[in-house]
Amino acid sequence: MLVEGFLLFALFFVAWQFLQLQWARHQLPPGPVPLPILGNLWLLDFALKREPLMKLTSIYGNIYTIWLGTAPVVVLNGCKAVKEGLVTYSEETSGRPLLPLFKDLMGEKGVFMTTGPVWKQQKRFVMLTLRNLGVGKKSLENRIQEEAQNLLKVFTSKKGSPFDPRTALGHAVANIICSFVFGQRFPEEDAHFNKLLKTIHMIVYVPGSVWGRVYDSFPTIMRKFPGPYQQLFEHNEFMHNFIKDKIQSHKERWKEGSKPQDLIDFYLDFIAKSKDDSTSVSREDNMVQTIVDLLIGGAETSTTTLYWGLLYLLKYPDVQEKVHHEIDAILGPSQTITYEDRNRLPYTNAVLHEIVRYRL
């Protein structure tokens, strides 16, 4: 009797969700019929990959809807569709869906998962602060050059032996961001720094996995069951505590009115100046999540792009040879490359742009 009742409830639940999905899909661009719980994940091999998305484009056109579990995603393919969606209708497409897993990880704080006034204030602060810290200026270029030299030392130390460069690339990119946020870089053997990078990687990839999709479909149930997301929550808590410790050390040395040296200093100053403004969102919990967002948004994406760039150069040695020849011919084998040199290195500049274009 109990089994029959459970089966009846399961059948009712599946039927109810199927009808809900069918009603919702008629309000969105066309696309494949979503199944209860899974949506269209089975069509995508449970991952967002280029090949299955292109197959769906040939069936449904350049604008269509797919369902990642119970969450709809509108896919834009081609320059015209992307421009229409992100420029012509920028206000309508500027928000982000706050899925259960991201909500449990981040809440409605920071920049990444917020909208409206909170997002606008945080974004304005971040953009202004990064400019004040040298983004777009010579000082940023110098920091990148320093990390590039450290990265080159790591590569040279391998003495031509095969190795996976992802960790070294991750250290270099993350240290550039850390120098802005914390005012310091970390040695590659630092255990906390390595755990921080592992956490960033998990936050990027676990939500997009089948485990993430199941969690978003049944958050109340899945919170109580073991899975990769439990480890993700533990690492996420570590990262937040790590940042809170850095903020505390800044508080101990920071004085109101003193010249800020990094993003945490600027945010402490921001909080102090906004303490009488009831509309301000400058709070320590927003500062912590904003720092998390900067680390996630910058470290993993840039590292992956560089990783793919090295892979493409290995796959096309003739292109690698031409880049090498152009740099040696124009700059010499030992001169440090600057951003201004891009106009003197047209082939190298074109290769870098093509790597970014193709990777995205």
CA-to-CA distance for 179 and 134, rounded, in angstroms? 11
Whole-Å CA distances, 125 to 96, 139, 265, 292: 19, 20, 12, 15
Q: Looking at residue 6, what is its pLDDT?
A: 65
- 243-300 confidence digits (pLDDT tens): 999 999 999 887 766 788 899 999 998 888 888 777 777 888 889 999 999 999 889 8
CA-to-CA distance for 136 and 144, rounded, in angstroms? 12
Residue 193 confidence class, pLDDT cut points 50, 70, 90: very high
Give the SS3 label for residue 239. helix
- 105-122 confidence digits (pLDDT tens): 888 888 888 888 888 888
- 33-46 confidence digits (pLDDT tens): 888 877 888 888 77
Give the residue with greater pLDDT, 96 vs 290. 290
Q: Looking at residue 337, what is its pLDDT?
A: 86
For 293, left (φ over 0), alpha (ψ -120 to 50), or beta? alpha
Number of helical (H) and strand (E) elements in the chain, helices listed first: 16, 2
Residue 5 confidence class, pLDDT cut points 50, 70, 90: low
Amino acid at 19: L
pLDDT at 1 over 70: no
Q: Looking at residue 181, what is its pLDDT?
A: 93
Mean pLDDT check: name the lowest of 50-54, 167-171, 193-197. Answer: 50-54
- 60-74 confidence digits (pLDDT tens): 999 999 987 777 888
Q: Looking at residue 45, what is its pLDDT?
A: 78
CB 43 within 8 A of CB 65: no
CA-to-CA distance for 273 and 336, rounded, in angstroms? 41
What mean pLDDT comes out for the span 298-325? 93
Q: Looking at residue 98, what is its pLDDT?
A: 77
Q: Looking at residue 257, what is its pLDDT?
A: 66
Share of the chain above pLDDT 90, in %: 39
Q: Burial, 67: exposed, middle or buried (Cβ in 10 Å; 0-12, 13-18, 19+)?
A: buried
- 132-160 confidence digits (pLDDT tens): 888 777 778 888 899 999 999 999 999 88
Give the CA count within 13 Å in the CB-facing half-sphere of 341. 14
Which position has the token pair 């974004």? 123
What mean pLDDT comes out for the span 225-241? 88
Give the SS3 label for residue 67. strand
Q: Looking at residue 8, what is its pLDDT?
A: 77
CB 1 within 8 A of CB 31: no
Which position has the token pair 């190298």? 348
pLDDT at 2 over 70: no
> What long-range pairs does 120-129 form, CB within 8 A, spacing at least 24?
121/280, 121/281, 121/282, 122/281, 122/286, 122/290, 125/266, 125/267, 125/270, 125/282, 125/290, 126/263, 126/290, 126/294, 129/263, 129/266, 129/267
Mean pLDDT check: name the lowest of 273-282, 318-327, 340-349. Answer: 273-282
CA-to-CA distance for 70 and 100, rounded, in angstroms? 11
Q: Looking at residue 276, what is its pLDDT?
A: 79
Q: Looking at residue 316, what is its pLDDT?
A: 95
CA-to-CA distance for 116 and 165, rounded, in angstroms? 40
Q: Looking at residue 200, what is its pLDDT?
A: 93
Q: Which of 94-103, 155-164, 218-227 has the highest mean pLDDT?
A: 155-164
Neighbours of 61 (CB within 10 A): 15
Contacts of 19 (CB under 8 A, 6+ apart): none
